Amino acid sequence: MTLTGTIPVPFGWFRVADSADLAPGGLASVRVCERDLVVWRTVDGTASCVDAWCPHLGAHLGVGGRVDGASIVCPFHGWEFGPDGANCRIPSSERINGRARLRTHPVIERNGLVLAWVHPLGDPPTFDVPEFPETADPDYLPFIIRSYVINTSVQELGENGIDRCHFPVVHLADEPPVIAEYDGSGDIAHVRTIVELKTPFGDFPGEIDVHQYGPGISATRFIGFVDTLLIATQTPIERDRCELRFHFTVRRTGTEAEAREIAELYVGHIDEQAREDVPIWEHKAFVPRPALSDVDGPILEYRRWAARFQVAPAG
């Protein structure tokens, strides 16, 4: 039996901040993909993400560093670096150091999230994350957020969604959901599941439609009762530690209070399922060649898709 630690840390787009939490001139330290990073916003509103260590003498830019206009300033000697990572000012010197360059990570800001592309070799992004129309639609509620730090790999979180037969055992579902479609042929995977939506207002036939944008972010739409969007971000911290974060919104129906009640219903259900999964995730082993049944779901197809975002060890 092989422990989860053998699953490589993936590359991809990962949440490094919520947009609302990163004010102009603000910065934050984050740990992503076994790297210390600093995410910061220039005074004109541009978000950037860089490795945390100053190339001069190694100070951590997120511990005492600050933003000055369009630059991030090192807390140790005051060296300044622009959003492109280049040194642009050294106090008391008329020169800059062309070799002193921060390692930068591409950033996009979509759907109220700041996402950084983190790749161990510095390779550029291979796909984009779109704007989800619900996030700009005034008919949808503001996000309801839940966050969990879990001692497991992000691959285990993703595999859990298409492991249909654990739902009756762990979550006490009447029957396993029916996976009507799974497509992992590209960087953006798609799974459509047929379910029975159980609510205080009765049971409704429905669908769960998921688009997974690499290992770090997915958009899940619940169809059949009330239009609902769940943006889930899965951010690797270490090889066996990650943050799972849910951003939930539903279309307003009836009064604001009624819409909020429905939203809290969905959030409570998913939150309960996540908490039921945590003990399994944190104590399971990774079986590279599992002995599967004919009803388990497309687990091997998912693993082949996840391998697209892994760099093979040298040698």
Q: Are residues 108 and 180 in the same domain?
A: no
Q: Are residues 165 and 295 in the same domain?
A: yes
Query: Residue 225, by phi and psi: left (phi above 0), alpha (psi -120 to 50) or beta?
Result: alpha
Q: Would residue 125 count as lying in a domain?
A: no
Residues 6 or more apart in contact with residue 199 via CB below 8 angstroms:
225, 265
Structure tokens that stand for 302 in this block = 């998912």
The 10s digit of each residue's pLDDT in 32-84 is 999 999 999 999 999 999 999 999 999 999 999 999 999 999 999 999 999 99
Q: Are residues 160 and 293 in the same domain?
A: yes
Each residue's pLDDT, cut to its tens digit, for the chain (315 residues) gives 445 568 999 999 999 999 999 999 999 999 999 999 999 999 999 999 999 999 999 999 999 999 999 999 999 999 999 999 999 999 999 999 999 999 999 999 999 999 999 999 999 999 999 999 999 999 999 999 999 999 999 999 999 989 999 988 998 788 888 899 999 999 999 999 987 766 656 677 788 999 999 999 999 998 877 889 999 999 999 999 999 999 999 998 888 888 888 888 888 888 999 999 999 999 999 999 999 999 998 999 999 999 999 997 654
Q: Are residues 28 and 60 in the same domain?
A: yes
Q: Would residue 256 count as lying in a domain?
A: yes
pTM reported for the whole predicted model: 0.94
The pLDDT score that the predictor gives to residue 6 is: 83
CATH of the domain at 56: 2.102.10.10
Phi (first) and psi of residue 40, to 5 degrees:
-145, 160
Examine the fold and report which residue of 118, 149, 171 is the final residue of a domain before the chain moves on. Answer: 118
CATH of the domain at 265: 3.90.380.10
Q: Would residue 126 count as lying in a domain?
A: no
Q: Are residues 185 and 53 in the same domain?
A: no
Q: Are residues 178 and 82 in the same domain?
A: no
With beta carbons less than 8 A apart as the criterion, state whether 74 and 63 touch: no
Q: Would residue 127 count as lying in a domain?
A: no
Element (H, E) at 227: none
Q: Are residues 137 and 109 in the same domain?
A: no
Q: How far apart are CA 187 and CA 206, in angstroms?
A: 26
The pLDDT score that the predictor gives to residue 314 is: 55
Q: Are residues 63 and 149 in the same domain?
A: no
Q: Are residues 252 and 203 in the same domain?
A: yes
Domain containing 11: what range? Answer: 4-118
Q: Are residues 113 and 179 in the same domain?
A: no
Q: How far apart are CA 65 and CA 84, in angstroms?
A: 17
Structural domains of the chain, count: 2
Q: How far apart are CA 284 and CA 2, in angstroms?
A: 10
Q: Are residues 154 and 102 in the same domain?
A: no
Q: Would residue 12 count as lying in a domain?
A: yes
How many CB atoms sit inside 10 A of residue 48's CB? Answer: 25
Q: Are residues 251 and 173 in the same domain?
A: yes
